[in-house]
Amino acid sequence: MKVFTFHLMPYADLDMNFMDKHRAAWVVLPNTYYDPKKGHELYNRYLDELELAAELGFDGISVNEHHQNAYGLMPSPVVTAAALARRTKNAKIAILGNAFGLREHPLNVAEEHSMIDNITGGRLITGMVRGIGAEYFSTGNNPAFSHARFQEAHDLVVQAWTRPGPFSFEGKFYHFEYVNMWPRPFQQPHPPIWTPSTGSTETIEWSAHPSRKYTYLQAYSPTQSVARFLNYYRQCAQTMYGYTASSDQIGWSTPVYISDTDEKARAEAKPHIEILFNKLLRLPFEMLFPPGYLSPKSLANMRSHKRSVSGQEHTIDTLIEQGIIVCGSPETVRKQFINTHRLLGFQNLLCLMQFGTLPRDLTERNIRLFASEVLPTLQGLTDKEYVGMEMRAAE
């Protein structure tokens, strides 16, 4: 298994009483809540944390894109990825993801990815996302064209990376007379493409397509939903497209916290993880799913699934119980991952080691404990330990 760590880079110094006055930490939260002096410290601290994980043997470190919010301070993950490129030697740098379709000029983002791939000698993983619903308020993009634009931006970028230029591209949303990318990507034919998602049916079906076979990464969700979406990917491959998906195409991302004992881990993580879920991630349904963002079918699915992630007040106990986070002693955490891997067979795991207001010292200890006590075991897990879908169904 490949084990990555990822960072959201939250604005941890936020006045958490903001919810008395504002509906969300997104879109409508005034940026006067942001103090650049504190932001300066946070950015550098967070980059240190990712660099530490790379040093301690994680297979990769990961950043992502969100706009106009306190939940994650990376409107351009390319900036953080570039900052990490020369400070790391072996770890993959995964941008999970960049919302190419939100841009007027996706080629510019593709050029930046290509540069990072060249600088790092091929350590880049490119994540392609539509961006969550709130981004459509923040960027002005029309949610009704979200899927179509995402797919067209993808086609444009992959062509730009693989076809000899110059050539012209005439799409519905994008029109370029001269596509001729300098530099071409270091990796051939192009950096691996991953598709992180919260479980959109269309994204899963699209990613599993035999012409793509992109690694599907399920963002944090209750274990039940993770199982449903990851298995849906495998089912799509099997029944819609007639091939067996490799477990390398399957990934799960979850917050992790480790301390000496289960009780201690729970007590230490509690305030910080509850701030992530109850304050930073709390989004009104209207912002999370603007009209047209989801197909009617996905909207119906999502109503049941998302209620448990962003619609309710969470405690650390409900989060652990539902499997949305993994928290405990090294042994508990190790066992839980081994067990979940046995059932779901993901060969990629992304661990969020800093969340909400988790301070520097606890984050660093979390990373170190994980690296020494859990990481080696997980990196040894292979597809042999996966029971497979049929077996599971029979259990």
Binding site for other proteins (CB under 8 A): 23, 27-28, 136-137, 140-145, 284, 286-287, 290-292, 296, 299
CB proximity list for 293: less than 8 A, separation 6 or greater:
130, 133, 136, 143, 144, 146
With a CB cutoff of 8 Å and minimum separation 6, the contacts of 318 are 312, 324
Name which of 262 and 286 has its Cβ closer to other proteins.
286
Please, are residues 25 and 280 in contact by the beta-carbon 8 Å criterion?
yes
**Residue 77 C-beta: closest distance to other proteins, Å:** 24
What interhelical angle do 223-235 and 296-310 show, nearest 10? Answer: 150
Q: Shortest approach of other proteins to residue 133 CB, angstroms?
A: 10
Q: By three-state DSSP, how is residue 273 classified?
A: helix
Nearer to other proteins, 143 or 196 (CB): 143
Report, in Å, the least distance between residue 294 CB and other proteins: 9
Q: Is 211 exposed, middle or buried (0-12, 13-18, 19+ CB in 10 A)?
A: exposed
Q: At its nearest, how many Å lie between other proteins and the CB of residue 143? A: 6
CA atoms within 13 A on the CB side of 223: 15
In angstroms, what is the minimal distance from the CB of 295 to other proteins? Answer: 9
Helices 360-373 and 330-344 sit at what angle, rounded to 10 degrees?
A: 60
Beta bridge partners of 256: 326
287 or 389: CB nearest other proteins: 287
Taking the least distance from each CB to other proteins, the nearer of 296 and 380 is 296
Q: How far is the CB of 286 from other proteins (least distance, A)?
A: 6
CA distance 182 to 199: 34
Closest by CA position to 351, among listed 44, 11, 53 = 53
- Closest CB to other proteins among residues 248, 286: 286
Considering the complex, state which of residue 173 and residue 241 has its C-beta at the smaller distance from other proteins: 173
Q: Containing H/E element for 193?
A: strand 193-197
Residue type (1 letter), 87:
R
Minimal distance, residue 303 CB to other proteins, in Å = 10
Smaller CB separation from other proteins, 136 or 232: 136
The Cα 80–Cα 167 span in angstroms is 31
Please say whether the beta carbons of 1 and 378 come within 8 A: yes
- State the minimum distance, in angstroms, from the CB of residue 250 to other proteins: 31
In the complex, minimum distance from the CB of residue 292 to other proteins, in angstroms, rounded to a whole number: 4
Nearer to other proteins, 141 or 197 (CB): 141
Nearer to other proteins, 142 or 278 (CB): 142
Q: What is the rounded distance in angstroms from the CA atom of residue 313 to the CA atom of residue 165?
A: 52
Amino acid sitting at position 367: I
Contact 248, 229 (CB under 8 A): no
Q: Count the Cβ atoms, other than its own, within 10 Å of residue 361.
A: 8
